[in-house]
Amino acid sequence: MQVGGSDGGRSGGSPRDWTAEVTVRISQEAKGAQNTIPSYFGRFEAITNEDHPSIFKRRHGKTTSRAAAAPPLRLPCLPGSSNPQTMTAPPPQELARATAPHTGSSASGGEVVPGQLTAPARDVVVVAAVGPYHLLSPPAPAALITRAKKCGIVVFLARRFGLDAADFLGWARRNEARVRGCYERDSLAAAVSVDLAEMLLLDGCVVLFAVFLLRTSVCEDQRPSKLAREVVHGREFIYLSADISLHMKETKIDLLMLHNQIPFFVLAELHKRLKDTLFKNINHSLEELALSCFDDIHPSSFRCRRDRDAHGRAIVVAAAAASASAANNQFPPRIHHLLHLFHWFRVPMRKHQVGIASIVPKEPEPHLPCATELEESLVRFRKQRPRAAGCGGSALDISFQRRMLGVCGEMSMPELCVHKYSDCVFRNLIAFEQNYVRCGLGVTAYCLCMARLLQSEADVKVLRKRRVLVHTQRTDREIVEFFRDMRDEYGDTLMPEDLLALCRDVGAHRRSKARGVVKGILLQCFPRQTVTFFVIFGAVISIATLINTVHTMYRYYHPYKGRNPSYGP
């Protein structure tokens, strides 16, 4: 593969010259960010400032909300890429048009372009914009972590933890063809080689720095707290980590956006260089550390494990390796990026794969009815629980079984939590599946099932009653629209055989003669709840009367011998 782009005359001669030039430029740009107090950081400075405690202050509205960050965007529809790699996303020119503010006469405030999808404003990057798609087209509005702060993080890692930035730039330049091959064909043709290597250094350090701050094992080793108390680099670390530490949820969502990814092998190279310094005494692989950052992001995973630290205390690890060993699961042979890792740990294992059998049908038949119709068909919904051994399971696995000789059915579903960020997470997971079919269609199959089960507010109430749908900030109508709108992402997809089998099993249960007979009897004898109550009440009275009659007749023909025990002496 030809390496696109040129140095544009910036390399200046030998490789040593351009790496030195880049490192000097990074150091110069970092000077303004290393000791700059974030604009929202004043309330923490007031803790040690007795002269200006900031007791009286006007209330300021939050401006970093993902919903209010920008007007609705127009993101291009992502077609299937011919490239076998996974990081498919709009080219920089299209992404620039997508993220730029626009006006128009349409109802959404902009001109609707045919063939494009309307993406919600929550897809806007808030904290960290990483990856080459932001190289030529900076996000609008600008993310909290600016280029100067990225340079500050690199300089901090170089001074405090010995990161050789020039050596990594050389490594990035040597692996340029491999990096370009991870993205859409010719999408980075306009990217200059030097700029691409510099981007890998800056953005890779930002992502690895975020993993260091967001991992769950930080509660045990307290490394960030120790760094913040250092005399020499403590204040610098506080200022550079403030954007991530004070916006943890937003940072995690940013790192799960499809167009906001960098190759995982770049992160692995940086982790190898900082393993004995920044990650010293942290005995977990990069995969485990990165996966643990998203433990509180739904859809969650049932796969977990308890481990023991050096002092014998029980700790919970994002248990990829141990739960994998318990269930014969391993990490995928090649992890492409953080979204791929997150997707792998959420979808059912060895299910919903796309093969030759999935090419012919485009819609699962027979039709999957809604939740109220299934309940009338003697189907009981049950909340899926983690397996006892190894906490195995998946948060996106829906199964169906027939019970009581085929008379009743049971649909097992994982617990569903819908948050404000769920729309962004599900859309990026589905977009990843549509562009990389080798990972399967677990999220697509789950959303399609839920869209068919939840057709009305009554269907949502059925799942709430069965505790499948737990507490959420959205109304029943919003839950229905949530899954209905997801169809824009998978409208023309290929359906896996597992989903077709689920629909066939449900259809066979509804056509069962035994189920029809039992349902007819129930409808004939118990048409309403009030009638059912009085029938049961009358049956209890009748049974009690019958027992009393039998007892009286028995004592009439078999009286007590001698004195009647009911009388006294």
Q: Using CA atoms, how far apart are residues 343 and 332, in angstroms rounded to an integer?
A: 11
The candidate with the shortest Cα–Cα distance to 240, out of 30, 22, 29, is 30
pLDDT at 136 over 50: yes
What tokens appear for 459 in the block?
């269907």
pLDDT at 4: 43
Residue 470 burial (CB count, 10 A): 13
- pLDDT band at 301; cut points 50, 70, 90: low
Least confident of 137-146, 170-179, 358-367, 489-498: 358-367
Residue 263 in 3-state DSSP?
coil
pLDDT at 403: 77
Stretch (H or E) spanning 305: strand 305-308
Contacts 24+ apart (CB under 8 A), 480-485: 480/454, 480/455, 480/456, 482/418, 482/422, 482/423, 483/447, 483/450, 483/451, 483/454, 484/451, 485/423
User: Of all residues in the chain, what percent carry a pLDDT higher than 70?
Assistant: 66
Most confidently modeled range among 2-6, 41-45, 195-199, 403-407: 195-199
Average pLDDT value for residue range 186-199: 88
Residue 289 near residue 267, CB atoms below 8 Å = no
Average pLDDT value for residue range 343-350: 84
Higher pLDDT, 94 or 416: 416
Residue 561, φ and ψ in degrees, nearest 5: -85, 140
**What does 110-141 look like in DSSP terms, one character per residue?**
SPPPTTEEEE-GGGS--S---SGGGTSS--SS
pLDDT at 255 over 60: yes
Domain definitions of the chain by residue range: 16-33+88-279, 356-518, 526-569
Average pLDDT value for residue range 235-245: 92
Least confident of 133-142, 295-304, 514-523: 514-523
pLDDT at 200: 95
pLDDT at 566: 56
Give the residues across from 118 on adjacent strands. Answer: 74
Most confidently modeled range among 197-211, 327-341, 343-357: 197-211
Average pLDDT value for residue range 480-489: 88
pLDDT at 189: 82
pLDDT at 358 over 90: no
Q: How confident is the prediction for the chain on average, in pLDDT?
A: 75
pLDDT at 273: 96
At 343, the amino acid letter reads: H
pLDDT at 68 over 60: no
pLDDT at 170 over 70: yes
